[in-house]
């Protein structure tokens, strides 16, 4: 009778094919470029024209938008912002509207509105009307009344 000899243990190779590793090395860095952290869209309206740097409109607008950063989160409990200033001496008003998504906290809402207010001023630096949309909020400012009016398109 023949004596059974134990077989050599089976070796498992953990090596990945070279083409698979090359594909990962190429596409992994591209995925961070293709997928942005957030999407943004903005509109700079031309209907009411521009303002120049020596006009007070820009200074007043910046001051009004600057109040967002100092707002208490309690003032944004419902995710809605409506601030305005009337400037009868210039026959001009400035109104700022902002809305946050219902699933963000009031602190995140304020941060989003503050961030978008700075971004929209950089994107539309001399426009009297502009809007910027993000995933968590949108903000719009205008020199015409926005609140309480129905409009199918921006004024």
Question: pLDDT-based confidence at 103, cuts 50/70/90?
Answer: very high
Is the model's pLDDT at 57 over the cut of 90?
no
What CATH class is the domain 50-142? alpha beta
Is the model's pLDDT at 113 over the cut of 90?
yes
Is the model's pLDDT at 82 over the cut of 80?
yes
Tokens found for residue 93:
């008003």
More confident residue, 155 or 87: 87
> What pLDDT shows up at residue 2?
57
Tokens found for residue 52:
């120049």
- Cβ count near 92 (within 10 Å): 18
Q: What percent of the chain has pLDDT over 90?
A: 32
Domains of the chain by residue range: 50-142
For 7, residues 6+ apart whose C-beta sits below 8 A from its C-beta are: none
Is the model's pLDDT at 12 over the cut of 80?
no
Query: What is the C-alpha to C-alpha distance for residues 138 and 127, in angstroms, rounded to an integer?
Result: 17
Q: Which of 36-45, 46-55, 74-83, 145-154 has the lowest mean pLDDT?
A: 145-154
> What pLDDT shows up at residue 104?
92
**What integer best gives the mean pLDDT of the chain?**
76
CB 98 within 8 A of CB 140: yes
**∠ CA(128), CA(134), CA(136), 5° rounding?**
125
Tokens found for residue 107:
């602190």
What are the C-alpha distances in Å from 43 to residues 36, 55, 121, 127? 20, 22, 11, 10
pTM for the complete prediction? 0.67
Residues in a beta bridge with 56: none
């Amino acid at each position: 009778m023949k004596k059974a000899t134990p077989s050599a243990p089976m070796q498992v190779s953990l090596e990945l094919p070279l083409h698979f590793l090359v594909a990962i090395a190429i596409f992994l860095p591209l995925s961070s470029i293709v997928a942005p952290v957030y999407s943004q869209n903005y509109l700079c309206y031309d209907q009411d024209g521009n303002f120049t740097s020596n006009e007070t409109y820009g200074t007043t607008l910046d001051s009004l938008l600057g109040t967002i950063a100092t707002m208490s989160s309690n003032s944004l409990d419902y995710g809605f912002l409506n601030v305005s200033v009337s400037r009868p001496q210039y026959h001009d008003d400035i109104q700022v509207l902002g809305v946050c998504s219902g699933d963000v906290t009031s602190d995140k809402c304020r941060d989003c509105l503050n961030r978008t207010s700075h971004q929209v001023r950089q994107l539309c630096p001399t426009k009297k009307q502009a809007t910027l949309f993000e995933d968590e909020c949108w903000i719009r400012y205008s020199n015409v009344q926005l609140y309480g009016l129905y409009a199918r398109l921006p004024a």
